[in-house]
A and B are shown apart, each in its own frame.
Chain A
Amino acid sequence: MSSIAKPPVFHPSARTNALGLRLRDYEGGMSTLCAGCGHDSVTAALIQAAWELSISPEIAAKMSGIGCSAKTTAYFMKQSHGFNSVHGRMPSVTTGAAAANRQLVCIGISGDGDSLSIGLGQMCHAVRRNVNMLYVLENNGVYGLTKGQFSASADIGSTSRKGVPNQMAPIDPVLLALSLGATFVARSFSGDKQQLVPILKAGITHRGLALVDVISPCVTFNNHEGSTKSYAHTRTHEVEAVATDFVPLKHAIDIAPSNGAVIDVSMHDGSLLRLRPATAGYDPTDRAAAYAHVRACQARGEIATGLLFVDEGSSQEMCDELKLPAEPLHDLPFERLCPGSRALDELMERYR
């Protein structure tokens, strides 16, 4: 909570994007999360990404379940659509929204509790279906909203605030998504916007489900010594596998040349991802290699970050697969949306 609303004043040199909007036009209400919560930095990164991509607020849908993480949707793009579903049900509600209106930019926000416990099945099937959405998992190792119980992402040996160590093996959403055929898998850190913002932009642009696991420390219940999801631990154990530059459509590629190899990935809308692996030989388009890399890091107690795997184009997103029309269902003329009993009779006839 803060005592006042953000003053409606702007930096005199505040720039506008292609839609004539300022960065602050992408803000939402004032956060009621704890001061210093990682989730608020994710919010700031989302605002930055949406502004830079010049997303029209009215075509964005912010979807979430329950948790501190789920409150994030209230804090950005106040003019956009939003849906707070039941705990863990964000993926299915988003699946419906994405099917009903293919023009929506679906931004799903979830937590490690929301996605890896009650909503684990939901998440798995959304990944399998390759729903066209950005799936941000704000991962803090605890159920923040219900006062800090271990979540399914807590590492073995990571201690609670009172010093009790977690005994159960963690679920790593990145490994899970890779094994389920996800077409875009990344991990980042709320405290590193330089890494996070381009990943979010790439994820929004990706055609299909883009899973971004963001380590987002809970300052209140999981930022102590002994926690493996604290600011300090993440900073000292993070190993970036791939750096991402996002080059929007119609922009000259004016990125600083790097010494190592560069992998360019063309996005379906004409923009470009320029990926710079930290270690020579890492190939972010090779699923098996990505899986192995994350496992190897895990074994060393390191946190693999960056855009770890991307497959743009070889697979289809859900609506393509289902051959849904390009226009939103609400724009279809009634006759097409509901062809009538004669059409139904004809269909039934085919199965006789």
Chain B
Amino acid sequence: MPLSPVSRWLDVAVTDVSNPDYYHKVVDCQWACPAHTDVPGYLRLIALGRYDDAYMLNRESNVFPGILGRTCDRPCEPACRRGRLDEKPVAICRLKRVAADRRGDITDRLPTGAAEKNGKRIACVGAGPASLTVANDLLPLGYDVTIFEQTPKPGGLMRFNIPAFRLPVQVLDEECDYVIRMGAEMRYDTPITSMKGLLDEGYDAVFVGSGAPKGKELNLPGRWDAPDQVHIGIEWLANIHFGHVTRLEPRVLIIGVGNTAMDCCRSAKRLGATDVKVVARRGRQHFKASQWELEDAEEEQIEIIENHQPSRFVVEDGRLTGLEFDVLEWTEDESGRQRSTVLRKEIIPTDAVILAIGQDNAFPWIERDIGIAFGEWEMPVVDRETFQSTREGVFFGGDAAWGPENIIWAVAHGHQAAISIHAYCEGRDVAERPPRGMTLSSVKMGMQSWAYDNDYETAKRQKMTHEDLTTRFADIGIEVELGFTPEQAAREVRRCLNCDIQTHFTAPLCIECDACVDVCPTRCLTITPYVSPIDELRQLLSAPALNLDQEVYVSHALPQTRRVMVKDEDVCVHCGLCAERCPTAAWDMMLFDLKLPYAGQEMAIR
């Protein structure tokens, strides 16, 4: 973290809290979120019943709160501070859904396309979340944005791969429409078959948000002997969406154990399959699927088989009857590498096999002689910061940039690409990234009275109720998760520790009375002679600061003894007691508001 070299009084490496990254990192969820959504901010709005405001605050950074409140990969939750103190993190994702479900009509608060155009034309390939985010950011600035989509509808994989029992169509339609109605020109049923051709149309910039549309093959003996019974997961899910697949044989094997496999097995259950097995090459601890998706699948009585590696499709008289596996045992060698030995062969009888072992990118429509360089694995060379390809004015984002990720990453990419496109069109250097800013404001309302609820909620994480097990299979469109009840939502938002309400220290005010050190419930604070390096200092604290992912704050030298105030950010619960017990307000509680740059708003910051 940023350290300024010399304290005013002593040779102390003082933490520089004027760098927005320092306090931002304290807000664990916001730091972990690719789009840096202001989570504690919107949770407090939910607590106040201000659902419209909570929704709008979400939308600012993540564009699709209703969709993401059901489907987000939620990297925020494993990062959540609450998870380090309590068994489970705050149910951030499902609270996002609460904001979306309970909002009123917010249409008049949505951004609108600019009345006056700036004369620049942007083409987006694909109408997935990445392209829609680019459009969302550029339309208000006066750009003409044309989106080319090969299917008849917007949303990309969110529409034709994420099953409707996880994401209702009307939620998707509504949030895609919020962008489109700003004036995006939608060209549906229009696959781009030549990048050269597109470039020749004279657009000022092109954004490629075409996703990672190709499912991986499993070329084993017998693969092509009964092709009608073997499906590629993402194609098969799309076929369900488009109504090409409506029924399934009773026995189904899903190969692979990622999130696509989870959607495949649960979809199979809804198409009449009764005996659904998911087969994994390795043990449970190596599964790619999120824990909650595994739990949901197992709740639906789907069997998950470990340590089985497919070796042959068993085809008799032109019909697939089973899949042969090597049953593996995994051991670790001295270097820590996992090695497998084959214990035996085993045939699992089945009527259909669905391959869900990953996705590849495919760009057959991009010519290789137009200045867009491709590198390893036939992937375009894309700059990690600017999202620009090796051809100026051509940008990539979402799954198309570096392979399959998820929706929130696609959104984050879209925002960054929009910043680049705007800079490029204005003739500025795309590599010069606009800085992040922040504001800090005291939340003190009076003696021991704060503009936030600092009391600690002891409730455990609320459990999501699910649609009844018999009802839910009647139709693939029946949403399984029912959402939190108002009481559950009220309790769950109070579990948030308000990590954005920061403990802010002013060294010259401190009289070293120890009150803050003594009152802190989690022993975050220490007044100590300064010691460097920081790793040594970490050991000397009230409770040693052993979580190296978390920052340690070091103050200027204190007036009376020249010692320093040190705070381990790791398990501070932001209760504000240090500030309440401080006689001089050397500790204060300050609301940190991260100011993220978006296209057209770069200059507003700082």
Q: What is A's interface to B at a CB cutoff of 8 Å?
A: 1-14, 24, 31, 34-38, 40-41, 43-44, 190-191, 193, 217, 219, 223, 231-232, 235
Contacts and interface: CB of A to CB of B under 8 A. Distances in A.
Given A3-B580, A44-B518, A9 B511 contact: no
Contacts of A5: 455
B518 A41 contact: yes
A36 B577 contact: no
B582 interface: yes
Contacts of B577: 2, 4, 6
B496 to A, nearest CB: 13
Could you say which of B513, B546, B571 has the most chain A C-beta atoms within 10 Å of its C-beta? B513
Given A12-B85, A35-B580, A3 B514 contact: no
A100 to B, nearest CB: 33
Contact of A40 (B85, B515, B522, B523): B515
Contacts of A217: 513
A12 B81 CA distance: 12
**Interface SS of B by simple majority:** loop
A191 B514 contact: yes
B594 interface: no
A193 B563 CA distance: 14
Nearest to B584: A36
Contacts of B517: 44
Interface residues of B, number: 36
Contacts of A9: 85-86, 456, 521-522, 571, 573
Given A11-B523, A11-B543, A12-B85, A4 B455 contact: yes
A8 B583 contact: no
Contacts of B486: none
Interface in B60-86: 84-86
Contacts of A11: 522-523, 543, 571
25 contacts: A2-B581, A3-B455, A4-B455, A4-B456, A4-B575, A7-B456, A7-B521, A7-B575, A9-B522, A12-B571, A13-B543, A14-B523, A36-B511, A36-B582, A40-B515, A190-B514, A191-B513, A191-B514, A217-B513, A219-B511, A219-B583, A223-B511, A231-B511, A231-B512, A231-B560
Which 5 A-B pairs give the minimum distances between C-beta atoms? A36-B583, A7-B456, A44-B518, A3-B448, A36-B513
Given A8-B456, A43-B518, A3 B84 contact: no
A212 B454 CA distance: 37
B19 interface: no
B450 interface: yes
Contacts of A7: 455-456, 521-522, 573, 575
B371 interface: no
A173 B521 CA distance: 34
Nearest to B513: A36
A273 B205 CA distance: 79
B518 A35 contact: no
A8 B582 CA distance: 21
B85 to A, nearest CB: 5
B532 interface: no
A10 B511 contact: no
Interface string B570-590: 010101110011111000000
Interface string B515-543: 10111011100000000000000000001
A6 B561 contact: no
A177 B497 CA distance: 50
A14 B456 contact: no
B222 interface: no
B544 interface: yes
B458 interface: yes
B485 interface: no
Contact of B521 (A1, A12, A24): A24
Given A191-B512, A191-B514, A6 B519 contact: yes
A43 B575 CA distance: 21
A1 B448 contact: yes
Nearest to A193: B514
Contacts of A6: 519, 521, 575, 577
B449 interface: yes
Interface string B444-458: 000011100011101
B88 to A, nearest CB: 14
Interface in B436-474: 448-450, 454-456, 458
Contact of A13 (B546, B560, B575): B546
Contacts of A219: 511, 513, 583
Given A9-B86, A231-B560, A38 B513 contact: yes
A34 B575 CA distance: 18
A12 B581 contact: no
Contacts of B560: 231-232, 235
A4 B454 contact: yes
